[in-house]
Chain A
Amino acid sequence: MFDEFKGFAVTLRRLPRKSVTFFYPDEKRPMPPRFRGLPSLRADPETGEALCVACGLCARICPTSCLEMHVVPSEEGDRELGEFILRSGRCLFCGFCAQVCPVDAITMSGAYERSVMDRDGLIYTKTELSAFGAQNETWWGADSPKFSKN
């Protein structure tokens, strides 16, 4: 008899606290800033210009060769990103591409909802990846207020 009250006391203690579960997918859980979601392309927060300098190191370091980049010579004489293809079905989410980038143009975004109806949907292009990550901060930025221990 007493044991039952003891057990109920735990329930009563928990009852006023905030719930740890989420009504997914109605409610989205904020991901920690170092969560390794879909690699995406950042833009300059002030000018909105893409940061990528098309050096190709990300494609080079990718352990599964899921990144493919096409470089075109730019008008200024430098190189420019022609196309950037992420075959995310192959991606390990290791984050090497974001780490190796000399200008922090790649970040691991929080995007984790990647189910698609056909395989081609797993291939992301430059425009799509920019849309994901344009406003994101660098991936290894310090603890952000979005993420609090609960």
Chain B
Amino acid sequence: MVVKSDTKLVTCTIDGQEVTVPAGTYILLAADAAGIELPNLCYQPLLRPWGSCQLCTVEILGPRGGLIQSCATPVRDGMEVSTHSPAVIESRQFVLHMYLIDHALDCPTCDKSGECYLQDNTYLHNVHDSPYLRPKIAQPYRHLRETIDYKWDRCIICSRCTRVCDEMIGVTAITIAGRGLEAEVTTSYGADLRETACTNCGMCIAVCPVGALTDRHFGHHPWELDAVETVCGFCDVGCTLNVEHNRGLVRRVTHLWNRGVNEGYTCERGKWGHEHVQDPLRLRYPLIRESGEYIEVELDEALNTAAEKLKHYQGPAFAALVSPDNTNEENYSLQQFSRAVMGSNNVDRLMTRSQASVEQALVDSFGIAASPAGMQEMRTDSNMVLVVGPDIGVTEPIASYWLFWALRYREVKMVVVRPEHSYMCDRSDHWIPAPAGSEADVLNAMAKIIIAEGLAAPGADMETLRGAVDGIDIDKVAATAGVSTDFLRTCAVLYATGGVGKQDGRTEYPSSTIWHTAASRDSGDAGAIAIAAHNLAVLTGNVGRPGGGVLAGRGNANMQGSFDVGCHPAILPGGELVSDATARDALAEIWRDRWATSLASENGFAPLLDLPSDPGVGIGGLAAAIEAGQVRAVYISAQSHKWNKPLDAELLAALDKLELLIVEDCFDSELTRRADIVLPAAMFLEKDGSFTNLDRTVQRLRFAVSAPGDSHPTTYYVSEIAQRLGYHFGYLNTAVIMDEISAIVPGYAGVSFPRLERNGMQWPVSGFGAEGTVRLSIGQGLVADAIRIVAD
């Protein structure tokens, strides 16, 4: 996170220790900085202070002092604070006595027991009995929805759940109703949560300090579980998850506050996604098709058959498709298999047309297939956000949390261009409900307005853009989008001026970010939307500024990384073109030695000493190449989980014409039903490696539980098949593969597993010891000539 503001520092004394913190820091956090932990129940990182639990009480010494809540009182210069004076302890004990009057105390059967804040504090403050005794009031469990239960007698009405639902998730599905003893957490009119805006993210359960909101699927005690910190594999935000498991099964996912790109917050996919990973319908054993029937076989037999058949297809007749849900290491292995063993450059990612065209748009506009901005920087530094494309709350939910957070706490301006209504549209004040297919026109019209208003950055290539937007009729576009021309003009000016509006004589404005999710579009104009959005950023000179630039949500967890490690028909790992003989030789130098020394050619299959030099067929041309008979054998590594977009029908139809199709998949899918050999794939909780998320953060994925049956990661399959073909990968573990990647790919030069243990790193990392790059700017990942306005 980049902090660029120059704030005043103040010094105070906490328990005799001098602490210097920025002005406006709450006493609770200042004490934390001094290493003094203050008990609290209602304080939640990133949310505004609430001050309802009264447990973080401290005493301010001096004539105007007294007991105050440390979570909601900012530090004053020269303040003297005592955190453990007798008055403080007495007040905290009183508060705990009051809580325990009606608290159920069913600790043995409470899910929270062992990690309950109230339980911990009761012990910490030596509260063993209560002077206030009366029969406890009890209420039965209330089922808020299929996953969430509420138990009133455990609730302490701290409002953490309602605040997180309102301020972070942005849906306000639950609220506190009633006062005093009748207060309870409920939905409006007591409706089922499924009938409200609830996104089932489970954050209310995660933030509950006691066991009032509980996970209905969980029936264990925290102390029975082992935890693994890993990265979510269901979208490209790359949230850090704390996966808790025992007896070989993931029991729940919990949250590491202030950790990872998500700062601990997760969405439905992160919170309940492990249930999908552990679905009983997962493929478990290899299948081989014999006369139309699929027969379960031993793993060894499947691999032998695959190797035997692949021998006939060395050269351009072979193609490989890697999954953008697989780790960098798996994708690197598979592209190495395709290039070094099978001698084919036909290697690409299994992606939709929209994803491919958005990637092309990034290359066209910025000269690099990556989002130039940083996600955390958008949250902390951006002054205005333009959100374009399908509902970001569905495609990249954590990104929508950061948008809601920025909207509420930093009062950023936000313009949403989206056909469908969502809660973000209401909160942003500037929603342009452009019907599907007209979003690109709206963005181009905004560019035209910006040029007309004279708000374009000096040096922007306006001539090219003018050619592109000349034909746009602003009035007509506004009418199609259902807004007035003035409203569209306001939005355009807001974007160009970083949310402050046009001011006479001012040339420098705060920065604006664009978030587009065009890659999740089902229809074909994703590329046009992406280009129009990138043009706007280039036109206003926002690329490379702190809090400015473009963030492109691209759907799959490792879409970025799979490109970086060379899963592209024309680009080698390291970003060089396949036609570049020097780059090819450098790679061949590393890979050549892995061939067995005594290997005779057989069925036309022979050890390759050089890599193929012709650009291969990508996902876009694969269907045609199969129809034309150029590609006859395909190896597909897929992850058909329920949040993946359906594949192109044309490609699926073409797969039927193949002579050999080997598919690795975790579920029965359109692909496995066409395959000759099906290998069961491991999912993200079941393997080791690294993911690179949408803002280029390389993060460590850790093994949590064993994969079902004979499932294995791609690296295992390709190295076993290569072994049978006489090529020895010889990777002992995934760390070795990452070392090889960091030697080959310049952006990953300083990335290694020991460094990733601490935190994710945003590439480019220029070398060992170098820091990551939060945003790409000219000279740091971007080349001035490559940033351009594109007219289609």
Contact = CB atoms under 8 A, between A and B. Distances in A.
Nearest to B247: A70
A57 B108 contact: yes
Contact of A56 (B143, B216, B224): B224
A77 B109 CA distance: 11
Given A53-B108, A53-B109, A55-B109, A79 B219 contact: yes
Interface in B54-68: none
A57 B114 CA distance: 12
Given A56-B221, A56-B224, A73-B219, A78 B108 contact: no
Contact of A72 (B106, B143, B219): B219
Nearest to A53: B109
Interface in A73-127: 73, 76-80, 82, 102
Given A56-B224, A71-B220, A77 B108 contact: no
A102 B141 contact: no
Nearest to A57: B108
B149 interface: yes
Most buried by A among B108, B111, B140, B142: B108
B213 to A, nearest CB: 11
A80 B140 CA distance: 15
A53 B140 CA distance: 15
Contacts of A55: 108-109
A41 interface: no
Contacts of B502: none
Contacts of B141: 76-78
B143 A77 contact: yes
A43 interface: no
Interface residues of B, number: 19
Interface string A26-66: 00000000000000000000000000011111001000000
B214 interface: yes
A73 B109 contact: no
Nearest to B216: A73
A87 B109 CA distance: 23
A41 to B, nearest CB: 16
A79 B111 CA distance: 9
Nearest to B214: A77
Contacts of A82: 219
Contact of B109 (A54, A60, A72): A54
Contact of B108 (A72, A73, A76, A102): A102
A77 B219 contact: no
A80 B221 CA distance: 13
A47 B140 CA distance: 20
Contact of B151 (A57, A60, A72, A77): A77
B123 interface: no
B189 interface: no
Chain A's interface size range is: 10 to 19
A77 B149 contact: yes
Interface string B212-242: 0010111111011000000000000000000
Contacts of B149: 77
Nearest to B150: A77
A100 to B, nearest CB: 9
A17 B109 CA distance: 53
A104 to B, nearest CB: 12
B151 A73 contact: no
A78 B141 CA distance: 8
Contact of B219 (A57, A71, A76, A102): A71
Nearest to A77: B141
B490 to A, nearest CB: 50
A54 B219 CA distance: 9
A52 B106 CA distance: 13
B109 A78 contact: yes
Interface in B121-169: 140-143, 149, 151
Contacts of A78: 109, 141
A74 to B, nearest CB: 9
Most buried by B among A60, A72, A77: A77
Contacts of B218: 73
Contacts of A71: 219-220
A77 B142 CA distance: 8
Interface in B73-123: 106, 108-109, 111
Nearest to A59: B224
A77 B221 contact: no
A46 B773 CA distance: 70
Interface string B602-638: 0000000000000000000000000000000000000
A127 B740 CA distance: 58
Nearest to A73: B219
Contacts of B142: 77
Contacts of B224: 56
A101 B426 CA distance: 53
Contacts of B223: 60
Nearest to A52: B109
Contacts of A53: 106, 108-109
Contacts of B143: 77
Interface in B464-484: none
Nearest to A54: B109
A64 B224 CA distance: 16
A60 B216 CA distance: 22
Interface string B387-431: 000000000000000000000000000000000000000000000
A118 B386 CA distance: 72
A77 B141 CA distance: 6
Interface in A9-38: none
Given A54-B109, A57-B108, A73 B217 contact: yes
Nearest to A71: B219
Contacts of A73: 216-219
Given A53-B108, A55-B109, A102-B108, A77 B220 contact: no
A79 B219 CA distance: 6
Interface in B449-496: none
Contacts of A56: 108, 220-221, 224
Contacts of A80: 219
Nearest to A82: B219
Contacts of B109: 53-55, 78-79
A54 B220 CA distance: 10
A16 B149 CA distance: 69
B242 to A, nearest CB: 21
Contacts of B216: 73, 77
A130 B623 CA distance: 65
8 contacts: A53-B106, A54-B219, A73-B217, A73-B218, A73-B219, A77-B142, A78-B141, A79-B109
Given A53-B108, A56-B224, A82-B219, 8 more contacts: A53-B106, A54-B109, A55-B109, A60-B221, A77-B141, A77-B143, A77-B151, A102-B108
Interface of B: 106, 108-109, 111, 140-143, 149, 151, 214, 216-221, 223-224
Interface of A: 53-57, 60, 71-73, 76-80, 82, 102
